[in-house]
Structure 1
């Protein structure tokens, strides 16, 4: 009788392990799908940059303008705080 209870416990343990394994695999599959989508969008975004050098220059100019604006806003904010 103790042996049959032990076997039932082992069977339940295996069942839990299988369920945990399935859950883990589903989570990993979902993460892989998200990474695949991100990689596809990254590749999609890189194609225009490589085929159109003007786009790269325009993006660099836009980034420089953004950083200058950010710097000015931070300076103004510091002035407001000092008042």
Structure 2
């Protein structure tokens, strides 16, 4: 009887250790991802600070992107309104 309880405790302990091991592995994976992301952010900051033209180019690209996004949204709204209008005509 005592041996059976001992084996049960050992099994429970092993199960807990496996869970902790999995949790630790997940934490390490997340830490690795965060480290890589921080490294890239640092690299980008250094690149921008050492080359002011790059910052200007990034601002230009952002402006172009926003203008493009605005046009796409406008066209989407026009298309949506046209399709609603056609749907009402058919009914």
Give the structure 2 partner of residue 57 of structure 1.
Answer: 56
- Unaligned segments of structure 1, at least 5 residues: none
Distance 2:14 2:78 in 1: 66
CA RMSD of aligned residues (A): 1.4
How far does residue 75 in structure 1 lie from its aligned partner after superposition? 1.2
* TM-score of the aligned structures, taking structure 1 as reference length: 0.84
Q: Which runs of 5+ in 2 are unaligned?
A: 83-91
Provide the rounded CA distance (Å) in 2 between the counterparts of 1:16 and 1:80: 58
Shift of 1:6: 1.3
CA–CA distance in structure 2, aligned partners of residues 14 and 64 of structure 1: 58
Partner of 1:81: 80
Q: Which of 1 and 2 has higher RCO (CA within 8 Å, sep 6+)?
A: 1
Count of residue pairs the alignment pairs up: 82
Per the alignment, residue 68 of structure 1 pairs with 67
Runs of 4+ with deviation above 4 angstroms:
none
